[in-house]
Chain A
Amino acid sequence: MSSIVATRLGRSRIALLLLPLLMAGCTGKSDGGNASNGGGGGGATPSVKVDTAGMLKTDATGKFGGRFTDATNAEPKTFNFIISKETSSSIPLSQVFDGLISRNPKTLAIDPDLAESWTTSPDGKTWTFKLRQGIKWSDGQPFSADDVVFTLSVIFDEKVDTTLRDVMKINGKPWAYKKIDDSTVQIDLPEPLGVFFEVAQFPILPKHKLESAWKAGKFNSTWGVDTNPAELVGTGPFTLAGYRVGESLTFKRNPYYWRLDASGKQLPFFDGGVTQVVPDLNTVILKFKSKETDYVALRPEDWKGMQADEASGGYKTVDNGPTWGFTYLGFNQNARATAVPDYKRAWFSKKEFRQAVSYAIDRDAMVQTVFRGLGVPLWSPVSTANTAFYDPNVKKYPHNPAMAKQLLAGLGMTDKSGTGMLVDSAGHPVEFTLFAASGNNISAAICTLIQDNLKQVGIKVDVTPMQFNALVTKINGSFDWEAVVLGFTGGVEPYTGKSIWTSPGRMHVWNPQEATPATPWEADIDKIFAAAGKETDTAKRKVLYNQFQEIVGEQQPIIFLVTAKSLGAIRNRMVGMKPNALGGFRWNMYEISAQ
């Protein structure tokens, strides 16, 4: 039984008229059922006649047919996109479902997906989306505004176990939304949200498949990993053809997919593909080397070896530039942290101390040692790859131990005993404990380097690795920590990091959930974020974000360290891949093909 069948590509009548009959190979007449999944063009009789009238024509070109193989490092926990909370589920599911809009990781522009166009009211609170016409779900049922309204109802239902709701609520208030007609949806926000596009990328699920489960209160356990894949109806380029538990996901082409290639034929180019579940990084690379997968993400230490074998291995290595996250060193400035001695908290609360530590750290050496040179030092929470909002004028702290010592001396911390280690004006030796998540080699290496760097300026650092949950409990719960090295992932709009940067934020690492801002600069950041939240003009938002980055650069509430580059290798047969650090490798699978 072959479940991967090369469906005959639907052809619009218009396209037929345009194509010379000679060119198409085996087109035109129906061939009778001819199930094959290799080669291009050879196909079976279309059991569906698809009208490509309303579909989006792209400029993608490529050969039709073939299958892709790739790997993911964890198995999906659910097939219900709204319930899912982990990338192991959302990455495969994003092949099967679309949203109204999406952020193009390459251009950073907002691409219309299921929504063709939109308008907004002058006050920025009402958004009207015009949906693409004539789109069908993968089971042939028509897509309409009903599905959008249904999806929103599910998301905002307090009984549904989803994190999307909290992300999409504005200051705790849900959206209002209504169907204007079959292809128009109106969304009324409780307050204007400048970064509306960040939160409007939610996936749309089919009402006709899920409404009864939702009404019966069973939505949370619907479409789990024990579901028959045929039930998963979506609008994406592929549908799930099969799932081998814990092992592999098999995809097949969605015959109703709404994107067309440059010549008007329905995408995707691939007939289908397999995503294997491979938890171990070493194994993934071995699989790529033995030609079992089409592309692989690499770690910095693999780069040299992989580059050396490019010619013999039939692949090209790619350097996607720095990743969009950051690692940081944070100090506890929380007055409620009773476990930390007052005098230490006093040090940590002084800007000069933090700046001194920032100058003492040798980020270039860190990049060399930890990332084999394949990384970048960081000065801002906004990634340098974020061409939309990165502020190049943010203050930088190049390695300068002399400056560090000077700043510390200004605080009264000097080497009174001649041992090389500093003592503050009250006689306390300048030392602190640095926590890091255990079991993470990169973290451990970074901490050891920080320890060494600070020893050079006279500060003694005691590195304590800790199991992740225990660490989080100490940081968020008991505030029993002095310094910590952790990281955050980053997105395009800095506003989405509100919880980290505004003083009442839960993830405001150095002083979480403040009742009132403890310092004037924190109050400034609060004001900036409040303004950015309402600001719909991107240029004005950029000005605000620049101000934010400059404050953070000067004050160093958390000290930004380094990040690795996003690296990979792609097999030569793959055409049309546009890998980048934000979107990964497969974000445009619909237009990728094989030679």
Chain B
Amino acid sequence: MSELPAPQEETLEGSGKSQTPGQLAWGQLRRNRVAMAAGIVVCLLYLMAIFGEFISPYPVADIRPALYHHPPTPIVWHDAAGHFSLQPYALGMKKDAKDEYVPDPTVRAPIRLFNTGFAYKLLWIVPLRIHLFGTSGDFPFFPLGTDHLGRDVFSRLVVGSQVSLSIGLVAIAITFSIGLLVGGAAGFYGGRVDNVLMRLCEVLQSIPSFYLLIALAGILPTKIPPAVTFLMIIGILSFVGWAGLARVIRGITLSVREREYVEAARALGVSDFKIIVRHLLPSTFTIAIVNATLAIPGFILAEAGLSFLGLGIRDPVPSWGNMLNEARDLEVLTRATWILAPGFLIFITVIAFNTLGDGLRDALDPKLRR
């Protein structure tokens, strides 16, 4: 894809205004309704992460051992007399003769918007006590039920997105930058550079990540603050992940570099770096985007695997991955299916990111201009 010449003042069709490539792309994207919907979903996900504690009714560390595996609280839109009301009510639940939870219509509490709940810091700065919704006092209101220690799944899901969405994004950003550059360079230069870089990739791919992690877990002092743990996890995941991508990119680049426009760019004296980044890599965007969306759930779940080694995000800090660890059990899966909520959100995230990515790629591709 060669660079477009600078836009002229008048366009051929006399539409009056000229547009930068960026504006062209944005316009193209706006017209792709599915991609826009995906984009909105992604924004909502990140909003959920940012405003996590505002949205969640309970603190993530609050355990209620007596209420383990409580099903999602039933919400009804009629008052005690049975008349329809705009005010939703949460019903209590009690255990029946078979020791299963059933709704108890005699016990109810109104669900209020902008309820007063536990103290937290909005955007990590502003101390507040207002939450988006909730019941007052101690009434158990669990929109998505509770886990094996009686913690509210919905609150943990929402706050857990902070960890999971950022791990996914940051790990991909790092993996992809390194992978794309190394792969692009290897493909472009070929010969010895290619050989050295690819062999390096092979060594990295062969390094036993499991042992590396255990070794790290054994060496690092146990008192490291969670923020550092978090960064370390991302670092480890990225370090282990980029070699495979580099190989795929290199394969494509090997093919693309023989094209005429690359020769032309070289003849024009464009720097190697620019050729790689602006001419060769764009051909790899599709694969890169597909890989990115394939990698997201991989990274989120890999973080959960780390917790088996004592390295991941530690209780009580939630992450989608470590919440799913509880669901590794048929008993839980069949009797407390709401524990799978994080899996469903991962699914949504994958779809959203991928569709958005597809849309972005389409928008940036001048061949598809309409």
Contact between chain A and chain B defined by CB under 8 Å: yes
Chain A positions near chain B (C-beta within 8 angstroms)? 281-282, 285-286, 299, 301-302, 304-305, 308, 365, 368-369, 433, 435, 438-439, 441, 444-445, 448-449, 452, 463-467, 469-470, 473
Are B308 and A439 closer than 8 Å at their CB atoms?
Answer: yes
Give the residue name and chain of the B residue nearest to A471 (CB).
Answer: B310
CB < 8 Å neighbour of A438 from B99, B309, B330, B331: B309
Whether B265 is near chain A, meaning CB under 8 Å from some CB there, is no
A–B Cβ pairs within 8 angstroms, 7 of them: A365-B66, A369-B66, A438-B308, A449-B65, A464-B310, A466-B217, A467-B214
Dominant secondary structure of chain B at its interface with chain A: loop
**Set of chain B residues within 8 Å of A439, measured between Cβ atoms:** 307-310
With A369-B65, A369-B68, A464-B310 known as contacts, the answer to whether A441 contacts B326 (CB < 8 A) is yes
User: B149 touches which one: A369, A433, A438 (CB < 8 A)?
Assistant: A369
> Would you call the interface of chain A mostly helix, strand, loop, or mixed?
helix
- Given A448-B63, A448-B149, A473-B218, are A282 and B314 neighbors across the interface (CB < 8 Å)? no
Shortest distance between the CB of A309 and any CB in chain B (Å) = 12
- Chain B 300-332: CB-based contact to A (< 8 A → 1; otherwise 0): 000000011111001110000000011001111
Known: A282-B330, A467-B214. A305 touches B335 (CB 8 A): yes
B66/A470 in contact, CB under 8 A: no
In Å, the complex CA distance between A441 and B68 comes to: 14
Q: Fill in one digit per residue for B184-224: 1 if any A CB lies within 8 Å of its CB, else 0.
A: 00000000000000000000000000000010011000110
Interface string of B256-277 (1 = CB under 8 A from A): 0000000000000000000000
Given A369-B68, A438-B308, A448-B63, 4 more contacts at CB 8 Å? Answer: A282-B331, A301-B332, A438-B310, A467-B310
Q: Which 10 A-B pairs have the closest CB atoms?
A: A438-B310, A369-B65, A439-B308, A470-B218, A466-B310, A465-B310, A282-B330, A301-B331, A467-B309, A467-B310
Q: Are A467 and B218 in contact, with the CB atoms below 8 A?
A: yes
Residue numbers in B under 8 Å from A433 (CB-CB): 222-223
Closest to A305 in B: B331
From residue A503, how far is it (CB to closest CB) to chain B in Å? 27
Among candidates B217, B315, B316, B332, residue contacting A467 with C-beta atoms closer than 8 Å: B217
A438 adjacent to B63 (CB under 8 Å): no
B129 located at the interface, meaning its Cβ lies under 8 Å from any Cβ of chain A in the complex: no
CB–CB A465/B314 < 8 A: yes
B148 interface residue (CB < 8 Å to A): yes
Whole-angstrom distance between the Cβ of B70 and the nearest chain A Cβ: 12
Q: Is the CB of B329 within 8 A of A301?
A: yes
Is B310 a contact partner of A463 (Cβ separation < 8 A)?
no
In the complex, which of the residues A282, A438, A441 has the most CB atoms of chain B within 10 Å of its own CB atom?
Answer: A438
Tell me if B330 and A286 are in contact (CB < 8 A).
Answer: yes
CA–CA, A363 and B63, complex, Å: 16
How many cross-chain pairs have Cβ atoms below 8 Å apart between A and B? 76
A448 with B316: in contact, given A368-B65, A438-B309 (CB under 8 Å)? yes
Name the CB-closest residue of B to A300. B331
With the chains together, A365 CA to B325 CA distance in Å? Answer: 23
- What is the minimal beta-carbon distance from B211 to any residue of chain A, in angstroms? 11
Q: Within 8 Å CB of A469, what residues of B?
A: 214, 218
Chain A residues with Cβ under 8 A from B329's Cβ? 281-282, 301
Counting chain B CB atoms within 10 Å of each CB, the highest count among A282, A368, A369, A439 belongs to: A369
A470 CA / B307 CA spacing, docked (Å): 14
Nearest CB of chain A from residue B175's CB, rounded to whole Å: 25
Give Cα A355 to B216, complex, Å.
36
Q: What's the Cα separation between A286 and B65 when bound, in Å? A: 28
Distance in angstroms from B89 CB to nearest chain A CB is: 29
Nearest chain A residue, comparing its CB with the CB of B310: A438
Question: Cβ of A464 and Cβ of B222 under 8 Å apart?
Answer: yes
A465 CB contacts on chain B under 8 angstroms: 307, 310, 314-315
Distance between B68 CB and nearest chain A CB, rounded to angstroms? 6
Q: Chain B residues near A452: list those with CB within 8 A.
A: 63
Residue of B63, B222, B311, B325 touching A449 (CB-CB under 8 A): B63
Chain B residue contacts of A464, Cβ below 8 A = 222, 310, 314
Residues of A near B99 (CB, < 8 A) are 304
* Cβ contact of B148, chosen from A281, A286, A365, A445, cutoff 8 A: A445
Q: How far is the CB of B249 from chain A (nearest CB, A)?
A: 34
List chain B residues, Cβ under 8 A from A299: 331
When chains A and B are docked, how far (Å) is the Cα of A465 from the Cα of B331? 24
B229 to chain A, nearest CB (A): 11
User: How far apart sit A285 and B330, CA to CA, in the bound complex (Å)?
Assistant: 9
Cα distance A541–B307 when bound, in Å? 45
CB distance from B284 to the nearest CB of A (A): 38
Is there an interface contact between A470 and B310, defined as CB atoms closer than 8 Å? yes
A365 to B315 CA separation, bound complex (whole angstroms):
20
Contact A302 B331 (CB under 8 A): yes
A369–B149 alpha-carbon span in the complex (Å): 7
B149 and A445 within 8 A (CB): yes
Q: Which residue of B lies closest to A438 (CB)?
A: B310
**Contacting residues, chain A, for B326 (C-beta < 8 A):** 441
CA distance A466 to B326 in the complex (A): 18
Looking at the complex, which one of A304, A368, A463, A470 makes contact with B217 (CB distance below 8 Å)? A470
Within 8 A of A (CB), among B133-180: 148-150
Residues of A within 8 A of B66 (CB): 365, 368-369
* A481 to B, closest residue via Cβ: B222
Least CB distance from B313 to A in Å reads 11
A463 to B326, CA, bound (A): 18
In whole angstroms, how far apart are the Cα atoms of A32 and B65 in the complex? 66
